Amino acid sequence: MNKLFTLPLTVFLSLVLLVGEAKTIDPYEVLGVEKNASQREIQKAFHQLSLQYHPDKNKNKGAQEKFAEINNAYEILSDEEKRKNYDLYGDEKGNPGFDAGYPGDQGGYTYFKGGRHRQNRFTFRPDEWQNMEGQGGSQSFSFSFGGPSAQSSFGFGLNDIFSNIFGGDGGGNQFGGFSGFSRSQSSFHSGSRSSPKGFKPINSKIFRKEIADQGMTWLLLSYTPSLRGSRYYESIIQEVAVSLQGALKVGSINCETEKSFCTELGIHPRQEPRVFVYSYKANDKGSLVEYNGDLLARNLKTFCQEQLPRFSRRIDLKHLETSSGSREKLPRVLLLSTKKDTPVIWRVLSGLYHNRFIFNDAEVHGVSDPMVKKLGVDALPAIVGWLSNAEKHVLKAGISVKDLQSAIQDLSTLLDGFDKKNKKKASSQARKQNDPVEEHLPLLTSLNFDALCGEKNPVCIIGAFRTSKAREKLESILATVSQKSFSRQRAAASGCRDSITYALLDANRQPAFLNAFEKSGFKWSDKVLLAYKPRKGKYVTLESEMTAEEVERFISSVLNGDIQFTKTRQKPVIK
């Protein structure tokens, strides 16, 4: 028969210490940091010690206990409120211990249970014991000696001690001897918080609105509050998130409160939290990819970088004319850099804007590269863009990067502006296309010149202008005349083998081009219409009044051979 005894507080404490309970150690001392250490210093010390004493890597005696101390210390010092309470009271909960006001000696006792990444624990103090099981302010505790349980060297069962104190049944349980203990009364794991600090809580609504197929890479932690190892996982993820700030976002899914959502995604935690990346590596649609490697910051960072979007196609500048010279439904942007692989910044932007731009990138060795010069780039890295009508723009040259996040923000602003310009141009073109008289004509550039006025074209009709008013008139007349039966079908910017192609030329930007035909470059007029035969290197200009009837008559004479051509001074080139 069990007998009920009542022991003074000091005797009970001695028993607890003798059966292996560990007194909480100063967290600053555990991590080896000063009292005024920054969060970065604390995090760095934690990571170093965690790697050194991790149970999966350190099999030495005492490594598990040391690892538990490290996690305990980090949980206190990484939480602003707990750290403040500890500094004030020597207790992270803000409850003074035996020696209140003396940090590092809170008079509490901590029980640790072995785990893979982290130790389960709870802390109890005299002030907590005083309020257990209706004991009120009593300084003594009642428990049973003896019984059929496993016996200690003192001749009584430890389970009986803990069952009478904490109201359990005395059987074995997840606390290694403690039963009936309320999780809300402990600092068990990191489950007291609804979501890890700095992590965006994710539910099904947020996932579909902000994550699914939005182009941004997410690093996600799935967990339940009772799982061991949460703090360790969180700290590693936070370090990776800081190093890739701007390239990815971080979120957490509490599978205790979001059970159906976790089941839908197939990510319910097992014995430990799980880490996923919402990735665009495989295809245009994002998908969850689980990280199963060692939980080290550098390894996880490498994995995240591998999962960043790959919507940008690497090209050889030798084939640039054929890849970028034709009209596209979307504008095109090209990154020129000396990198052997697509830079992280460009991969991130390709994900964010993959529905708005066609992304390309190319490796170049310097601005002396002929193709780089041809594009009008004088500094690297550089971004060149083409509107949907194949009009080229150097968006930015000599890009400087201070940090990943600010660079992505700056370039996002740049792409937004170019997208706006393209929509404005497209809107203007649409208005002209709705007018049966007017149809947009391509503007000659270095990229579409061969397609429009190269040697494969028998005759190229070029309207050169110096003012916006002259351009409007030329474009209106040529758009009308090009629909006449003698012209067959007007060639597209991608080129074809029709008899005639039509194009406009900005004479202010391309003075050398006109000089190839005439020494003066037709400076006497704000608009010039000429017919150019690329194969023969000959040309003729319209001398009469610039009207639709005169232009139609001029082109008919060109086709019928009723007009005399002149040899060009040199081969015209667009720069």
CA dist 279 and 239 (Å) reads 19
Neighbours of 410 (CB within 10 A): 15
**Confidence check: pLDDT of 209 > 90:** yes
The pLDDT, as a whole number, for residue 217 is 95
Structural contact between residues 390 and 493, judged by C-beta atoms closer than 8 angstroms? yes
Query: What is the pLDDT confidence band of residue 360, given thresholds at 50, 70 and 90?
Result: very high
453 lies in the same domain as 364:
no
Let me know: does 476 contact 431? Beta carbons within 8 Å: no
Q: Give the other-Cβ count within 10 Å of 366's Cβ.
A: 8
| 441 part of a folded domain | no
The type of residue at 507 is A
Quick: pLDDT tens for 214-258.
999 999 999 998 887 778 888 899 999 999 999 999 999 999 999
Q: Are residues 418 and 511 in the same domain?
A: no
Helix axis angle, 63-77 to 80-89, nearest 10° = 100
**Structural tokens at position 484:** 């006449």
When pLDDT is cut at 50, 70 and 90, the band that residue 314 belongs to is: very high
Does residue 43 belong to any structural domain of this protein? yes
Residues 75 and 214 in one domain: no
This prediction has a pTM of 0.49
Mean pLDDT throughout 149-156? 33
Residue range 478-497: mean pLDDT, rounded: 56
Q: List pLDDT tens digits, range 282-301.
A: 677 899 999 999 888 899 99
Return d(Cα 11, Cα 7) in angstroms, integer.
6
Instruction: Clarify whether residues 282 and 250 are in a common domain.
Output: yes
Is residue 575 a part of any domain in this protein? no
> Which strands make up the sheet holding 22-23, listed edge to edge?
22-23, 109-113, 120-124
283 within domain boundaries: yes
Residue 244 resides in a domain? yes
CATH number of the domain bearing residue 150: 1.10.287.110
Residues 6+ apart with CB under 8 A from 361: 312, 313, 314, 315, 334, 335, 336, 337, 342, 343, 346
Boundary-marking domain end, from 185, 214, 239: 185
The residues pairing with 249 across neighbouring beta strands, listed in sequence order, are 218
Domain identity same for 339 and 218: no
What are the DSSP calls for 48-97, one per residue? HHHHHH-TTT--STTHHHHHHHHHHHHHHHTSHHHHHHHHHHSSTTS---
pLDDT of 275 higher than 90:
yes
Domain identity same for 374 and 417: yes
CB 307 within 8 A of CB 344: no
**Whether the predicted pLDDT of 561 surpasses 80:** yes
- Nearest alpha-carbon partner for 273 in 297, 257, 258, 295: 295
Whether residue 195 lies inside any domain: the answer is: no
Which of residues 525 and 459 earns the better pLDDT score? 459
Please tell me the least confidently modeled range out of 28-32, 86-90, 93-97, 407-411: 93-97
Q: Which of 42-46, 135-139, 368-372, 523-527 has the lowest mean pLDDT?
A: 135-139
149 and 33 both lie in a single domain: yes
Does one domain contain both 90 and 176?
A: yes
Q: Is 425 helix (H, G, I), strand (E, B) or coil?
A: helix
Q: pLDDT averaged over the chain?
A: 75
pLDDT at 376 > cutoff 60? yes
- Point out the domain boundary residue: 243, 274, 306: 306
| For range 20-48, the mean pLDDT | 81
Contact 364, 338 (CB under 8 A): yes
Judge if 135 and 168 occupy the same domain: yes
User: Is position 11 within any domain?
Assistant: yes
What is the extent of the structural domain holding 522? Answer: 449-567
Joined tokens for residue 450 = 């061969």
Predicted confidence band of residue 435 (pLDDT cuts 50, 70, 90)? low
Whether 574 is in a domain gets the answer no
Q: Looking at the structure, do residues 31 and 77 belong to the same domain, yes or no? A: yes
pLDDT of 129 above 60: no
Domain tally, the chain: 4
CATH number where 400 lies: 3.40.30.10
Q: Which amino acid is at 61?
A: K
Whether 279 and 321 share a structural domain: no
Question: Which among 239, 274, 306 is the end of a domain?
Answer: 306
Residue 6 burial (C-beta neighbours within 10 Å; 0-12, 13-18, 19+): exposed
Residues 76 and 177 in one domain: yes
User: By the 8 A CB rule, do 92 and 86 touch?
Assistant: yes
